[in-house]
């Protein structure tokens, strides 16, 4: 079979049997699945042999890049030695034990305990149960409310979708979990009006205080936020936002949860987004970059305050997964962190490749469709707009973004459209030449988009 026959073969089977995540499957079946068969560095290749520069590191996760043999080798070795054993019933495996120590070292001060799961969604489910159990043990079970933000993403299990602020998700598979409230997001470009970003950061943060006052502080257990909202379109909050959120959480004695599933493991030029924004989280769910996506593993880092109660006052915490602390996944995570450390990848994002990325993307800021280029480290968001001066978006949100995303794919670069915000989150190993290539391909795609909608 030649490549094209093989592709048709896989597409037929896929269409017959596979329901894809976050996909209009009928539409996909009309268009045909793109079958990705191999990858190396920052490039992926499909079954027709076409190569794409992966500007998204998969789904924001392949931080060390594709094709790292060390990761495959430790998985292979661990699977031969001990492919599986659980961490229940007085047992533990050595990779999970060692990983716990390393995570306590690299995460912010005060986070010294870890609970393992398999995905970001499961980590956030764990967080919900921990928060509510913590307050119950503290004799305040009525503090069951968790406050989140509109346009937040925290996963797609029932708890993840409920915590998230995506209306399209709340509309399906409900009812959502009770006692979760959503406040406005700190999205200055889209919602900041005539305020300066700094003013707007304070206004957005004070929505938390208003919500606490409305619900009653004695009913609120926690606030959850991504340091930078990823799936919401890479919404980078103004500098005033997180310090004010921290102040409010401290004032009302509310637990602060930083969802580091995207920001963690170097993405923002520090180990965690909490380091970049000066957040002191009580609970810190993380996943993705923890293993660079080579095997599924996630975790919740638990701060002293919660750990002390959960460990000393709870008795059995009736929560856990068959694969919590899976030895092969933990071994891969350990090796992944070793690579990040030894190759100083996080420092490189901060001091070298991150600034280069920000500078290179300036070429896109001049494009007639692009309202702004917003970056931190190796993550970027670019709103496509109808009017650059007034920051006015397009009438049918999402349409131009989708056209642009498809044009990017056609031009050999993977970018994602979150509504009309084009986003980037490339592997941390990307080189300067590859960033130049990414920008070149993106510019061609943006031009095609502008022509298609009559803006050029
Ligand atoms: N939290 C955040 C911030 C995320 O970006 C994601 C996934 N994109 C999740 C949680 C859920 O992770 P998973 O898809 O591994 O369940």
Q: Is the minimum distance from the CB of 119 to ligand 1 under 6 angstroms?
A: yes
Neighbouring residues of 236: CB distance < 8 A, sequence distance ≥ 6 = 228, 374, 375, 376, 381
Q: Is the minimum distance from the CB of 154 to ligand 1 under 6 angstroms?
A: yes
Ligand 1 pocket test, pick from 124, 153, 159, 263 with the greatest ligand atom count within 8 Å of Cβ, gives: 153
Q: Is the minimum distance from the CB of 262 to ligand 1 under 6 angstroms?
A: yes
Q: What angle do CA 131, 279, 221 make, to 5 degrees?
A: 20
> How far does residue 286's CA lie from ligand 1's centre (Å)?
8
Q: Is the minimum distance from the CB of 260 to ligand 1 under 6 angstroms?
A: no
| Strands across the sheet containing 43-46 | 36-40, 43-46, 51-54, 413-414
Residues 423-435: what's their mean pLDDT?
A: 98
Q: Is the minimum distance from the CB of 121 to ligand 1 under 6 angstroms?
A: yes
What is the average pLDDT score of the chain?
97
Pick the residue whose CA is nearest to atom 10 on ligand 1. 154
Ligand 1 pocket test, pick from 288, 418, 425 with the greatest ligand atom count within 8 Å of Cβ, gives: 288
Ligand 1 pocket test, pick from 58, 117, 120, 296 with the greatest ligand atom count within 8 Å of Cβ, gives: 120
> How far does residue 122's CA lie from ligand 1's centre (Å)?
9
Q: What angle do CA 310, 247, 303 make, to 5 degrees?
A: 20
Which CATH number fits the domain 69-342, given the four candidates 3.50.50.60, 3.40.50.720, 3.90.1150.10, 3.40.640.10? 3.40.640.10
> How far does residue 260's CA lie from ligand 1's centre (Å)?
9
Residue 128's pLDDT is what?
A: 98
Residues 339-347: what's their mean pLDDT?
A: 98
Closest atom of ligand 1 to 155 CA is: 11
> How far does residue 78's CA lie from ligand 1's centre (Å)?
26
> How far does residue 330's CA lie from ligand 1's centre (Å)?
19
Residue 282's pLDDT is what?
A: 98
> How far does residue 155's CA lie from ligand 1's centre (Å)?
5
Residues 183-208: what's their mean pLDDT?
A: 98
Chain position carrying tokens 């989708």: 402
- Which residues face 379 on adjacent strands? 376
Counting every residue written for the chain, the total comes to 456
Whether residue 73 has a cis bond before it, omega within 30° of 0: no
> How far does residue 120's CA lie from ligand 1's centre (Å)?
4
Q: Is the minimum distance from the CB of 354 to ligand 1 under 6 angstroms?
A: no
Ligand 1 pocket test, pick from 155, 263, 267, 286 with the greatest ligand atom count within 8 Å of Cβ, gives: 155
Residue 199's pLDDT is what?
A: 98
Predicted ipTM of the assembly: 0.99
Residues 246-275: what's their mean pLDDT?
A: 98
> How far does residue 218's CA lie from ligand 1's centre (Å)?
29
The per-residue pLDDT for range 98-112, each reduced to its tens digit, is 999 999 999 999 999
Q: Using the predicted structure, report yes or no on whether residue 147 has a pLDDT greater than 90.
A: yes
> How far does residue 321's CA lie from ligand 1's centre (Å)?
17
Q: Using the predicted structure, report yes or no on whether residue 456 has a pLDDT greater than 90.
A: no
Q: Is the minimum distance from the CB of 153 to ligand 1 under 6 angstroms?
A: yes
The per-residue pLDDT for range 289-319, each reduced to its tens digit, is 999 999 999 999 999 999 999 999 999 999 9
Residue extents of the structural domains in the chain: 34-64+344-452, 69-342
Instruction: Give the CATH fold of the 34-64+344-452 domain.
Output: 3.90.1150
> How far does residue 261's CA lie from ligand 1's centre (Å)?
6
Closest atom of ligand 1 to 152 CA is: 3
Pick the residue whose CA is nearest to atom 7 on ligand 1. 155
Residue 1's pLDDT is what?
A: 87
> How far does residue 169's CA lie from ligand 1's centre (Å)?
14
Q: Using the predicted structure, report yes or no on whether residue 249 has a pLDDT greater than 90.
A: yes
The per-residue pLDDT for range 379-394, each reduced to its tens digit, is 999 999 999 999 999 9
């Amino acid at each position: 079979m030649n490549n094209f026959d093989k592709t048709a073969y896989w597409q037929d089977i896929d269409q017959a049997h596979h329901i894809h995540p976050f996909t209009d499957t009928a539409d996909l079946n009309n268009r045909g699945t793109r079958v990705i068969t191999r990858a190396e560095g920052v490039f992926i290749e499909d079954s027709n042999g076409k190569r794409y520069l992966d500007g998204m590191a998969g789904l924001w996760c392949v931080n060390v890049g594709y094709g790292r043999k060390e990761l495959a080798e430790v998985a292979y070795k661990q699977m031969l030695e001990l492919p599986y054993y659980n961490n229940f019933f007085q047992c533990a495996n050595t990779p999970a034990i060692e990983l716990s120590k390393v995570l306590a070292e690299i995460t912010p001060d005060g986070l010294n305990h870890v609970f393992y799961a398999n995905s970001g969604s499961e980590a956030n489910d764990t967080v919900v149960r921990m928060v509510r159990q913590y307050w119950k043990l503290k004799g305040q079970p009525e503090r069951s409310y968790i406050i989140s933000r509109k346009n937040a993403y925290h996963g797609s299990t029932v708890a993840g979708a409920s915590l998230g602020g995506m209306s399209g998700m709340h509309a399906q598979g409900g009812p959502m979990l009770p006692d979760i409230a959503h406040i406005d997001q700190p999205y200055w470009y889209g919602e900041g009006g005539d305020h300066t970003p700094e003013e707007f950061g304070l206004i957005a943060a004070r929505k938390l205080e208003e919500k606490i006052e409305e619900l009653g502080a004695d009913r609120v257990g926690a606030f959850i936020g991504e340091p930078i909202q990823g799936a919401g379109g890479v919404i980078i909050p103004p500098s005033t936002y997180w310090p004010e959120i921290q102040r409010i959480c401290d004032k009302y004695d509310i637990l602060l949860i930083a969802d580091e599933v995207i920001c963690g493991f170097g993405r923002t030029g520090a180990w965690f987004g909490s380091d970049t924004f000066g957040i002191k989280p009580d609970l810190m769910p993380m996943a993705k970059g923890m293993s660079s996506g080579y095997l599924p593993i996630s975790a919740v880092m638990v701060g002293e305050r919660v750990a002390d109660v959960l460990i000393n006052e709870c008795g059995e915490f009736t929560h856990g997964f068959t694969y919590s602390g899976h030895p092969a996944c933990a071994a891969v995570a350990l090796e992944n962190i070793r690579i990040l450390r030894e190759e100083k990848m996080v420092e490189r994002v901060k001091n070298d490749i991150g600034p280069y990325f920000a500078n290179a993307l300036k070429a896109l800021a001049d494009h007639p469709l692009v309202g702004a280029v917003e970056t931190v480290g190796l993550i970027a968001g670019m709103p496509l707009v109808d009017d650059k001066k007034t920051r006015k978006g397009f009438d049918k949100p999402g349409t131009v973004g989708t056209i642009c995303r498809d044009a990017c794919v056609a031009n050999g670069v993977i970018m994602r459209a979150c509504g009309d915000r084009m986003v980037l989150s490339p592997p941390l190993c990307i080189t300067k030449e590859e960033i130049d290539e990414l920008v070149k391909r993106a510019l061609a795609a943006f031009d095609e988009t502008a022509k298609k909608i009559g803006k050029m």
